[in-house]
Structure 1
Amino acid sequence: MKKIKQLLLLIAILLPFLFAPAGVLADTNSASSSSNQAADKQSSVAAIKKRGKIVIGTAADYPPYEFSVKENGVSKRVGIDIDLGKQLAKDLGVKAEFKVMNFDSLLVALETHKVDVVIAAMSPTPERAKSVDFSKVYYGDNQDIVINKAEESKYKNLKDFNGKVIGAQNGSEQYDLAKQQMKGAKLKGLDRVNNLIIALQSHKVDGVVMDSTRAKAFVANNDKLKAINPHFKVSGQQGTAVAVAKDSPGLVAATNKTITKLQKHNTFDKVYVPRAGKYMSQGTKQNTVLNYWNYFVRGIVYTLVITVFSVFFGFILGFIFAMFRRSKNRILHSLAVAYIEFIRGTPMMVQVMFVYFGIGEIIQNIPALVAGIIAVSINSGAYVAEIIRSGIQAIDYGQVEASRSLGMSKKLAMRYVIMPQALRNIWPALGNEFITLLKDSSIVSVIGVTELMYQTQLVQSATYKGAFPLFIAMMIYFILTFSLTRLLNYGERRLNRSRQG
C-alpha cells in the first residue's frame, strides 16, 4: 500500500511538468539547448542517411501537388510533391516516409523536428523564412480566385470583391495576400480547401483564393466553378519551394541539387504534372464516394482505438485524481485541483497539439497516435475525476460509519460499500463522457492521426465532393454513438438489477 501511494505521488508531481509552458521548460536549464542541437543534427544529411529514411511533411489534400487516390483497390498518395519527395529520397539513398497533417501544422512539425522537410505546395514568403529555410522554387505559379461560374460576370479584379466574403486556407500565402490586398472584403479562413469549396458552392463565401494549378484542378473537375486571375501583387519568389529546418545547409543544398536536376530535364512539366493530371482524371471517372469505403473503415478502426484506450486510461486517471482531491493531504489535494481546473480550462485541440509538438520535442519520435491517446486520456481524466468525486460525495456518510463499525478498513469500505453505489449513481454521467470522447476523437486529426474525420477529408480531396462524405461521416458517428448508448443502457440495467437483488 505504501509503494502504491508513493507511485501515485510521483505521478501527481510529474504531471504538471507535462503541461508547463514550452518557454518555461526551455529556460529551466541548458539541457534544452543541447536537446535542440541534437534535434538539428537529426535533420542533417548524415543523420538522415544513417537513419535510412527522410520524413516528409505534407497535407495530401491539394491536387495536383499532393493527394490520395485508389489504384487497384489500394490507397496511395500521388502528385507533384509526392514525386519530388520520392526523388529527393532516392538521391539521398534513403526511403521516403510521408507524414500527413493539416497545412497550418506543417511548419510547427518542422520546427519541432517531427519531419525533416515540408513539401506541400508551400510558398517561400519572407514571414515563413524567419522560422525555416527554403530551397529554390521548384514550380512557379500564379494566384487565382475560384468563383461560382454563374457569377463570373460580377468579378474581374480585386476591387469587385469589396463587401464580399473571401475564403482562404489558414496559414497559407493566399490567406496573407487576401488579408493585405483585399481589405474591402471580409476574409474567412478554414483549415481545408475542400471545406472552402463547400462554402463557395453553398454561397457562404463569394470566392476562394488559391494557386492557379490548384484552381485549374477544381475547375476541371467541377463545371459549376470558374477560376479568374485578379492579378495579386506578390513580393519575393513566386511559386512553391521545399521548407527545411533552420541551420540545415547540407539538406538545403541536397534538395536544391535534386530540384536543379529535375528542372534541367523539365521533369515537372513533362512527367510530374501530366502524371498528377492522369491520376486526377482517373479519380474523376471513378470519383464516387462509395469507391472509397475502405477509407471510412480505416477511420472507424482508428477512432475506436483512440476511444477505447482513452476511456480506459481516462477512467484510471479520473479515479486517481478523484481520490487525490478528496485526500486530507494538502499536496495531493492541491495537485488534483490544479490538474482538473487547468485541463478543463483549456481546449482539447490545444492540449493535443501541445502533447505532440511540445512534449514531443523533448521525447523524440513520439507517434501521432500515441500523442493523441495521451492528450485525450488526460483531458477525459479531469472530467471523470469530478464525476467520480461527486458520486462518492452523494453517498450518505452514515454508510461509511456503519462499515467501519463492522470492522471494515477504509479501503474495504470504499471498495465494497461506497464505490458500487457511487458507480450506479454516476453511470449516466460517465456514459455521456464516453460518448463525447468518441466524437471528440476527431480533434486528433490536426496532428495527422488517420481517424474518421481525417479519412473523410481525404475522400473529399479525392472525389471533389464536399457534403456527401461529411454526410457519411455523420451517419457513421451516429451509428457508433447510438450503439455505445445501447451498450451503456444495458450496463445501467444490470447495475440496477444487482441493486434490487
Structure 2
Amino acid sequence: MKRKVGLALATLLVFTMSLFAGSTKVSADDNSLQKVKEAGVLKVATSPDYPPFESEATIKGKKQDVGLDIDVAKQIADDLGVKLEIKNMDFGSVLAAIQTGKADIAIAALSPTAERRQSVDFSNIYYTGGQTFLINKKDVAKYKTAKSLHGKKIGAQTGSLQNTLAQKYFEDSAVSSMDKNPDLIFALQNQKIDAVGLEKPVAQAYVAHNKNLAMIDAGYEDDADESGKAIAAPKGSSSLIMAINQSIDKITKNKLTDQYLKAAGEHLDEGAEDNSMLKYWKDFYNGFLNTSLIALLAVIFGIMLGILLVLMKLSAWKLLSWPATAYIEIVRGTPMMVQVLLVYFGLGAVFNLSALVAGTIAVALNSAAYVAEIIRGGINSLDKGQTEAAKSIGLSKVDTMRFVILPQAFKNIWPSLGNEFISVLKESSIVSIIGVTDLIYQLNVVRANTYRAVAPIVVVMVIYFLMTFTLTRVLNYFERKMNNA
C-alpha cells in the first residue's frame, strides 16, 4: 500500500496522546457502531492524492472527493443510515486519526498487512487489483516481462507494499523510494529509473493520461490478504466492522467496484481535458489564503508568547525560568512535523480542534520558542548601563523592561525577527499533513489530478517567492524607519 510508516506514526501518536488524556482503554462492551449511529455521522479519514482510489474533482463548481474508496464509504454510510464526513489528510496520518478519535474509519487504499493489524482492526477485502510495473513506452520491447527488470533501477513509493515486494523479489535490483508517485513518474520519464511499481488501477490511470507510458504485469505471487484493500477501524470495533462487512458483501455481490472505478475514470478524463494550471487557480488561491492566514496568526501569537517566555526565562524565580527553558529546548529540539501531529491528534483529541486551528497553534508554539531566543539575544546585547540609568531615574523593573530594554532590543533584533517571519511563512507548509488546505496540500492534489509532476511545483514556487519577496520589502521598510527614528 502507500506508506507503512503510518503504522509507526500512529503508534507514536497514541503513546504521546496518553500524556494528555491518559491511556485509552477499549470497553468490554463494544459500542463503536452505536456511537456512529447516535452521532448520525460516519467520519472517514482518507488521503485524496491517490487516483482512482481517492482524489478531488470540481463538480458543478464545487470541490468534492471522488474515487473508488469514496464511493465505498458512501455506500457504507447509506447502509448505516448516517451522513458521510470526509476528513482529508496525509496518508501517514489516517491510521492515527482513527486511533485518536478524529475519525471512525480509515479508507485510503489500505492493505491489511500483519504490521497494521497489530494496531487497528480491518474489514474484509473490498477490492484486489493486482501489481504492475510502469515503464516508458519506448522500452516495451526491452522490458517485455517483469523478469527483464532484474538488475535494473526500480522505483516505488516510500513504505508502500510495492516497495516491500520489489525489495523481496528483485534483490539484484536497485530499489529507489520517493514519497509521492508523481515524483517517481517524473524520474521514470527522465530515465533516472527504469520502472515504477504501482497497483494496477493506478498504473492504468497513468497510462490512460500519458501516451509515453506503458505497463507490464509484476508477476508477483500475490497474497490477496496482504495486497487487497480493506477498511481500518480502531481496535475492538467489532460491531462497526461487522456492519462494514455487510456493506462490502453487498458491494461485492453486485460488482459495484467496477462501477465505482468507471465513475472515477470519468472524473479523471474530465480533468485531463484541460489540465492547465489556470484551471486550478482557485485551488492555488485558497491555498495562498490559508498559508497567509496561518503565517500571520502564528507570527502574532508567536511574538506574544515569545516575549512571555523570555521574561520567564530571565526571571530570578526558578519556578518561572525552568519551565520556560524546558519549553524552548524541547520545541527547538524536535521537528515541527511532530509538533503539528501532537497538537492535532493529542491536544486536538481533548478539545476537538479543527485541522486549521491545530495547525496554526502548532506553528505559533514553534515560532514562539525561536522568537524568545532572538529577543533574549537582543536584551543581552544591550549595555548594562541602560538598566542602571533606568534605575537611577526611579523606573521599576517592569517599566525598565517595557520602556527601555524591549524597544531597543526589538530595534537590534528586527533583521533576525524578519528572518523568523519568512521562515514561518515557508515552514507552515508542514500543516498539509493533517489536511489543512494550504499551498502544499493543493500542490499535491493538483499533481494527482493532472498527472503533471513539474508544472504545479513551479506555480507554487512562484507564489511562495512572491509572498516572501513582498514580506521582505515590507520588513526592510520598517527597518529603515526604525534606524532613522
The alignment's TM-score, normalised by the length of structure 2, stands at 0.92
Aligned twin of 1:408: 395
- 3-state DSSP class of the match of 2:141? helix
Moved more, 306-315 or 98-107: 98-107
Aligned twin of 2:448: 461
Answer yes or no: is 1:430 the counterpart of 2:420: no
Q: 1:318 aligns with which of 292, 306, 311?
A: 306
Instruction: List alignment gaps of at least 5 residues for structure 2.
Output: 1-11
Moved more, 370-379 or 462-471: 370-379
- In 1, distance between residues paired with 2:182 and 2:154? 14
Answer yes or no: is 1:86 the counterpart of 2:74: yes
Moved more, 432-441 or 223-232: 223-232
Q: Contact 1:88–1:255 (CA<8 Å) still a contact in 2? A: yes
Kindly state the Cα deviation for residue 182 of structure 1 after the two structures are TM-superposed: 2.3
Change beyond 3 A, Cα 1:206–1:113? farther
Aligned twin of 2:251: 262
Q: Contact 1:40–1:248 (CA<8 Å) still a contact in 2? A: no
* 1:119-178 Cα distance to aligned partner (Å, 9 max, x none): 111222222222211111112211111122222333345554344432222343222222
- In 1, distance between residues paired with 2:409 and 2:268? 57
Kindly state the Cα deviation for residue 303 of structure 1 after the two structures are TM-superposed: 0.4
- 3-state DSSP class of the match of 1:274? helix
Aligned twin of 1:250: 239
Moved more, 139-148 or 323-332: 323-332
- In 2, distance between residues paired with 1:480 and 1:200? 33
Q: Contact 2:48–2:88 (CA<8 Å) still a contact in 1? A: yes
- 3-state DSSP class of the match of 2:103? coil
1:62-461, aligned counterparts within 5 Å? 62-237=50-225, 238-269=227-258, 271-361=259-349, 363=350, 365-461=352-448
Kindly state the Cα deviation for residue 467 of structure 1 after the two structures are TM-superposed: 0.2
* 1:88-142 Cα distance to aligned partner (Å, 9 max, x none): 1111111111111222221222222221111111222222222211111112211
Answer yes or no: is 1:471 the counterpart of 2:461: no
Q: Contact 1:125–1:236 (CA<8 Å) still a contact in 2? A: no
Name the Cα RMSD after superposition: 2.2
Q: Contact 2:13–2:341 (CA<8 Å) still a contact in 1? A: no
Q: Which residue identity does 2:242 align to in structure 1? A: A
Q: Which residue identity does 2:447 align to in structure 1? A: Q
- In 2, distance between residues paired with 1:288 and 1:433? 35
Residues matched between the structures, number:
473
Change beyond 3 A, Cα 1:138–1:98? same
Q: Which residue identity does 2:277 align to in structure 1? A: V
Change beyond 3 A, Cα 1:407–1:81? same
The alignment's TM-score, normalised by the length of structure 1, stands at 0.89
- 3-state DSSP class of the match of 2:65? strand
Change beyond 3 A, Cα 1:186–1:359? farther
Instruction: List alignment gaps of at least 5 residues for structure 1.
Output: 1-19
Q: Contact 1:126–1:236 (CA<8 Å) still a contact in 2? A: no
Q: Which residue identity does 2:429 align to in structure 1? A: S
Q: Which residue identity does 2:249 align to in structure 1? A: T
* 1:406-442 Cα distance to aligned partner (Å, 9 max, x none): 1111111111111111111000100000001000011
Change beyond 3 A, Cα 1:300–1:180? same
Moved more, 449-458 or 60-69: 60-69
* 1:204-235 Cα distance to aligned partner (Å, 9 max, x none): 33322111011000010001111111212233
- In 1, distance between residues paired with 2:144 and 2:323? 61
Q: Contact 2:131–2:198 (CA<8 Å) still a contact in 1? A: yes
- In 2, distance between residues paired with 1:27 and 1:315? 27
- 3-state DSSP class of the match of 2:84? strand
- In 1, distance between residues paired with 2:16 and 2:187? 41
Change beyond 3 A, Cα 1:117–1:296? same
- 3-state DSSP class of the match of 2:124? coil
Seq. identity, %? 46
Aligned twin of 2:475: 488
Change beyond 3 A, Cα 1:208–1:178? same
- In 2, distance between residues paired with 1:253 and 1:445? 33
- In 2, distance between residues paired with 1:39 and 1:210? 40
Change beyond 3 A, Cα 1:175–1:307? same
- 3-state DSSP class of the match of 1:147? strand
- In 2, distance between residues paired with 1:24 and 1:465? 38
Change beyond 3 A, Cα 1:290–1:490? same
- In 2, distance between residues paired with 1:213 and 1:116? 26
Aligned twin of 1:32: 22
Q: Which residue identity does 1:292 align to in structure 2? A: Y
Kindly state the Cα deviation for residue 25 of structure 1 after the two structures are TM-superposed: 6.8
- 3-state DSSP class of the match of 2:38? helix
Aligned twin of 1:11: none
- In 1, distance between residues paired with 2:348 and 2:25? 12
- In 2, distance between residues paired with 1:399 and 1:94? 67
Kindly state the Cα deviation for residue 48 of structure 1 after the two structures are TM-superposed: 0.9
Kindly state the Cα deviation for residue 332 of structure 1 after the two structures are TM-superposed: 2.3
